[in-house]
Every structure is written in structure tokens, then in C-alpha cells.
């Protein structure tokens, strides 16, 4: 049987040891473990990588700790605009949504776009109409309300500043969640979801819903989910860049992800990280920031849940 | 002095010789020539590739013949939703807009996003607010009204069908405009603009505003603008794929663009074409459809304006 594995992330940024209470650290790790366990259980039961990715991301979206779904940050107008994308590596099918509000699990809607819309990328009110046609219920604002998120917004509301979530200090962190998986059939999938940036305006779209930038999967190479300052990740076409370095230059997953995160994107000025898996179940989780909420579980027993640099 | 050049396109599709009147063919070629002349004049005066691209695309947007700007097709609700993107190859700066209405020249707004927003990609009402802050005037619906476009929409309005513009027959054509240029300094730029698909709904975003998919520029490799069935071009990350084949596999511009259009995207089911330029001023304009409105002009005197296969 193929080695199978799953990796997840909950965002990268200036996460310095000692700045977070032990309780909070435990809460983050516990949420990561829940997501990882759920995804791994699906793979263990010979489920599809796509299902494992969606279910893992849903758990991270349902947690108020991460900037996606329920924990999404506030935009400049006090709303929530969420983005998500998904791709599977067998048929290179993909789906994405952007600038949506009121949807509990954007990753599920991204999958429905892939499977039921005849399109890849839907945004805004139109995407919401598509969801409505499928019978999606919309959540009240209260579901997305979080005191910390609200105070983060109040601090910079009315200013020209925007912040990449989540931050306890004034320096930036990049709030996104994501999962990548390789199933027992050797199929890959990647999913990414985000609530964007605090005080975000003008209908800004980051890399998370952009296939090739923040998310990509291809059974010929790898599945990738990114987190970082999205503008740089778009300009670097980061997720597909990893795939191309493997396909066209013959790099391994570890080599390609290192090259992109520690050389190519850094040269552009991009900060963040990514998680990636190949069809042998190998995992790479490089980041060029101080920390990244992350974890993985492989069928050979290897596992890790971590926040800071090792 | 560096060989400089510019290439433009006005969409690809099932353009069969004899299906179009001589008058119409002359009108298309004349519009293409105007755009090409304008861009080339800028390059000849040692202007920047970015300016040449923007000015050439603006002329195509201002023509009712092409599905972009003034000639944009009707959405399912009888409106116009336009997308555009731009990228320059020196600093890899990029800008894009999606789902905007009432803006005469979306390519200009994409450039303003790149230069003035601090972001790469803005969409919908938010993007329009950004434009308003910069003093953009919005055009009345009448500016975008065209009898042919309206009748194309009336034919499929209320149905589940959507059409990739522009078509005289029932088969599909892919309406997009674009320009790529290499200036006397060896800098590259690419710009793409579209009115989407007739009867488009749900806030669908195609490849045109997606950096890496429908548009890309990098002085290390090439500048690319695509036209085709956008969903496939997104999944194939087509524009960046050309760049990667050059950078990582050492292919020439001609080899890389041929590989992507005639093998990789075709394998996915993608139909369309692209225009591309490298830093030696070489031009490639492959397409896997019956025709593509296209033209180029090089400083060595080579030039072409064509619609059908040679």
C-alpha cells in the first residue's frame, strides 16, 4: 500500500516563543490535532485525499482561533470577506470562491464550485447566489463575531492600515488555514481558506483562492497550500512554482519547497510558508517567518504538531 | 539597441474563413492595426513596455468589435462584468481587477491597482470604490450597449447556457484582448482585458485577471497574454507555465508556447491561444482553435496582422 499522509497549517507569522500563554498554545495545538486526526482517519479508511482535505479544513474554519470561516477577521466596513480554494491532482479539477460572507465553510463551497458550477472561480454576491441555489444556509454575523478579532479591527479601523492576521503584537502574521493530503491510491489534494486581512478594503483578493498562487495539486508532482503576504505569493505564483521545479527541474519536494520559500519568494519580499505533499506521502512545511501553526501525520507513524521554529 | 516588439490579440475561437464579410474582416484588421501602431510608436520613442501594452489594450477596449471594455458581452442579469490584469517583468509588479462595471478602460484600473493600491487584485464593488477614490468617471450603460452583443444575450438569456465571446455561429469563441511588449531597454510587460462570457452568472472569474493563468511577465523569461476557455487556463496556470518551461527547462519562447498550447492545455481540454514575447523581441502567437485575432510589429521590420490559420 502507498504511504499516505496529511499536513495542515493555520497560518505563518511572527510567532515568538513566550509571547503566547501556555493555555493558548495548548488550545492551538489541540485544534490542529483535531483537524489532523479527522483528515487522517479518512485516509486510513481508504477515503479520498479530497475528502480528507475538506474535512480537515472545515475543522480549522470552525475554530475561532484561526483566520478562516468562524474566526475570520473584520474588513474595513466591519464585515467578513472570506476566500477558499480546492484542487485535486488526478484530473486537475479546481474550485475557488472569493469575497463571500455568511458562509460557515467556504472550503465546502469551493468544492461545490468545482463539482457543480461548470466554473472554477466564483466571487462576491454571485458566489453567494450559487450557494443559495444549492441550499446553503447563511450564518448570522454573531457566528463570526469574536472579541479579539473585533478589538484588532477597532485598533486600526478608519486608518489606512490593514493587518495580516493574526497578530498579538504589532508585527504581522498571516492568517490562513490549509491542508494537503496523499491518499492510499496516491491521489493528491490541496485546500486553502482565509478570512483575509483585518481592515481589508476595496474587495482585495489574496493568493488563497487563486489556483497556482496559494493552492495547487497535481498527481505528477505535489499538492501545496500557502500562507503569507498574499500579494507576493500571487506575483511569485508560488504553489505552481513548487510543482514546476519538481516537474521541469527534477527537484524533490523538499528541494523545491525550500527553493521557493527561502530563495525565490524571499527575493521578491514575500514572507510566509507552505505545506506540501508528494505522491510518496513525503511532507514539506518550510516557512521563512518566525513560526507557522502546522502539523502532519504519515502512515509510517511519523507525526508532528508545532508552532515555532525547531 | 535591443530589438523591440509588440504583439496583440483580440481573442481566439472558431473563426472560419468565409463566415465573415470582407467589410467586417477589414474592420477587425483595422482595429488591430490601430492598437499595434499606437503601442509600437511608444516603443519606437523609447517608451516603456508597460505604457505600450496599456495604450494598445485601451484601443482594443474602446472598440466595440472585441469583448473587452466597450464591446463587453452581457451577463445573465443584462449587465457587464469586466476583468483585466497587467504585469511588468522588471520588478514582477502586477495589478488586476475583476467583476467591475461602468469603467471605460479596465486595463488602466488594473495598472492603478498595481501602482497605487498596495495590493495586486481588487474585485467588485470594492474595486469600483477604489476607482472612485482615484477620480474615475463611470460610463452609462449606453456606452457598453451594442446591438450584436444584446442579441447574442437575448438568444440564450434565461437558459443555463453561457457563451464565450465572440461568436457569429453557435460554436464557441473566446473573447479577450491582450498585448505583450519588449521595449528598447529589454523590459517586458503583459496586459489582458475581457468582458467575460455572454449570459455569465454567479460572479464567475476567468483566467484573464489571474496573474500566472491569463497574464504574466518576467524579464528572466517572457511576457504572456492568453485567450481561451478560462477555466482550463486557470487549471493549467498557462501563462506562468510558459515562463517555467523557459526558466527551468531551457526551452525557447517558440518551444515553450508550442508545448503549452498544443500539448499541455489541449490535454486538459483547453481551447484558445496566447501571445508572448521574450527579451530578444521574439514573438510567438500559437493557438489551437481555428483562428485568433492577432498581430505583431518588430523593430527589424517583421510584422503581421491575421485572423485565420496561416
- Distances from the Cα of A271 to the Cα of A230, B121, B162, B191, angstroms: 9, 18, 40, 27
Grid cell for residue B71: 464591446
What pLDDT sits at residue A163? 63
* pLDDT at B170 > cutoff 90: no
* pLDDT at B168 > cutoff 60: no
pLDDT band, residue B174 (cuts 50/70/90): low
Mean residue pLDDT across chain B: 92
Question: B212–A237: do the CB atoms touch at under 8 Å?
Answer: yes
Query: Residue A176 catalytic?
Result: yes
- Cross-chain CB nearest to B205 (options A87, A121, A237): A121
What pLDDT sits at residue A51? 98
Query: Cβ–Cβ contacts within 10 Å for residue A200, how many?
Result: 27
* pLDDT at B217 > cutoff 70: yes
Mean residue pLDDT across chain A: 92
* pLDDT at B169 > cutoff 80: no
Order across the sheet with B272-278: list the strands: B215-217, B222-228, B272-278, B283-284
Name the residues of B annotated as catalytic.
176
Which residues of B, range 121-180, sit inside 8 Å of A by Cβ?
Answer: 121-127, 129-130
* pLDDT at A173 > cutoff 60: no
Q: Is A39 left (phi over 0), alpha (psi -120 to 50) or beta?
A: alpha
Q: How many domains does chain B have?
A: 1
pLDDT band, residue B197 (cuts 50/70/90): confident
What does the pLDDT look like over A213-245, one tens digit per residue? 999 999 999 999 999 999 999 999 999 999 999
Question: B211–A237: do the CB atoms touch at under 8 Å?
Answer: yes
In the numeric block, the cell 507569522 is attached to A13
pLDDT band, residue A165 (cuts 50/70/90): low
Residues 6+ apart with CB under 8 A from B117: A202, A204, B95, B130
- Cross-chain CB nearest to A203 (options B93, B123, B212): B123
CATH classification of the domain holding B179: 3.60.20.30
With a cut of 0.85, is the ipTM above it?
yes
Helix (H/G/I), strand (E/B), else coil: A100: strand
* pLDDT at B157 > cutoff 90: no
Question: A235–B93: do the CB atoms touch at under 8 Å?
Answer: yes
Task: Classify strands A94-100 and A121-123 as parallel, antiparallel or unpaired.
Answer: parallel
Q: Chain B partners of A203 at a C-beta cutoff of 8 Å? A: 122-127, 129-130
Report, as an integer, the average pLDDT of B189-207: 92
Give the gyration radius of chain B's Cα atoms.
17
- A89, A93, A126, A251: best mutation site toward chain B, by most B Cβ within 10 Å? A126
- B130, B159, B235: best mutation site toward chain A, by most A Cβ within 10 Å? B235
* pLDDT at A170 > cutoff 50: no
pLDDT band, residue A164 (cuts 50/70/90): low
Q: Does B245 touch chain A (CB under 8 A)?
A: yes
- Distances from the Cα of A300 to the Cα of A182, A276, B48, angstroms: 13, 17, 56
- Distances from the Cα of A70 to the Cα of A35, A91, B41, B230, angstroms: 15, 31, 53, 31
Distance of CA A110 to the CA centre of its chain: 13
* pLDDT at A67 > cutoff 60: yes
* pLDDT at B7 > cutoff 80: yes
What pLDDT sits at residue A310? 77
Helix (H/G/I), strand (E/B), else coil: A167: coil
Which residues of B, range 74-103, sit inside 8 Å of A by Cβ?
Answer: 87, 92-94, 98-99
Q: What is the distance in angstroms between the Cα of B70 and the nearest Cα belonging to chain A? A: 22
What pLDDT sits at residue A13? 83
Q: Chain B partners of A244 at a C-beta cutoff of 8 Å? A: 240-241, 244, 248
Q: Does A13 touch chain B (CB under 8 A)?
A: no
What does the pLDDT look like over A84-102, one tens digit per residue? 999 999 999 999 999 999 9
What pLDDT sits at residue B164? 57
* pLDDT at A169 > cutoff 60: no
Q: Is B160 left (phi over 0), alpha (psi -120 to 50) or beta?
A: alpha
Helix (H/G/I), strand (E/B), else coil: A150: helix
Grid cell for residue A232: 507576493
Q: Does B230 touch chain A (CB under 8 A)?
A: yes
* pLDDT at B228 > cutoff 80: yes
Task: Classify strands B94-100 and B121-123 as parallel, antiparallel or unpaired.
Answer: parallel
- Cross-chain CB nearest to B204 (options A92, A126, A249): A126
What pLDDT sits at residue B166? 43
B107 phi/psi in degrees, rounded to 5: -65, -35
**pTM of the entire structure?**
0.95
What pLDDT sits at residue B151? 81
Q: Which domain holds residue A12?
A: 5-308
Amino acid at each position: 500500500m502507498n504511504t499516505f499522509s496529511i499536513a495542515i497549517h493555520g497560518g505563518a507569522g511572527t510567532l515568538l516563543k513566550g509571547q503566547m500563554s501556555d493555555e493558548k498554545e495548548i488550545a492551538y495545538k489541540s485544534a490542529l490535532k483535531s483537524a489532523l486526526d479527522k483528515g487522517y482517519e479518512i485516509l486510513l479508511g481508504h477515503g479520498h485525499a479530497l475528502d480528507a482535505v475538506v474535512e480537515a479544513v472545515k475543522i480549522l474554519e470552525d475554530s475561532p482561533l484561526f483566520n478562516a470561516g468562524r474566526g475570520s477577521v473584520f474588513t474595513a466596513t466591519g464585515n467578513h470577506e472570506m476566500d477558499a480554494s480546492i484542487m485535486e491532482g488526478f484530473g486537475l479539477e479546481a474550485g475557488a470562491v472569493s469575497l463571500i460572507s455568511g458562509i460557515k465553510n467556504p472550503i465546502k463551497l469551493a468544492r461545490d464550485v468545482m463539482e457543480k458550477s461548470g466554473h472554477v472561480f466564483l466571487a462576491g454576491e454571485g458566489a453567494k447566489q450559487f450557494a443559495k441555489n444549492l441550499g446553503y444556509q447563511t450564518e448570522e454575523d454573531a457566528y463570526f463575531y469574536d472579541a479579539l478579532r473585533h478589538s484588532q479591527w477597532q485598533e486600526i479601523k478608519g486608518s489606512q492600515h490593514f493587518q495580516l492576521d493574526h497578530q498579538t503584537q504589532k508585527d504581522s502574521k498571516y492568517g490562513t488555514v490549509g491542508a494537503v493530503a496523499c491518499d492510499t491510491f496516491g491521489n493528491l489534494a490541496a485546500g486553502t481558506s482565509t478570512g483575509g486581512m483585518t481592515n481589508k478594503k476595496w474587495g482585495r483578493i489574496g493568493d488563497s483562492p487563486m489556483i497556482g498562487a496559494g493552492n495547487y495539486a497535481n498527481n505528477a508532482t505535489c499538492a501545496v497550500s500557502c500562507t503569507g503576504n498574499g500579494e507576493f505569493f500571487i506575483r511569485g505564483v508560488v504553489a505552481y512554482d513548487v510543482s514546476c521545479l519538481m516537474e521541469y527541474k527534477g527537484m524533490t519536494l523538499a528541494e523545491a519547497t525550500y527553493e521557493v520559500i527561502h530563495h525565490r519568494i524571499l527575493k521578491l519580499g514575500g514572507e510566509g510558508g507552505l505545506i506540501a505533499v508528494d505522491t510518496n506521502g513525503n511532507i514539506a512545511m518550510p516557512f521563512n517567518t518566525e513560526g507557522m501553526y502546522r502539523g502532519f501525520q504519515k502512515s509510517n507513524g511519523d507525526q508532528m504538531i508545532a508552532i515555532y521554529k525547531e
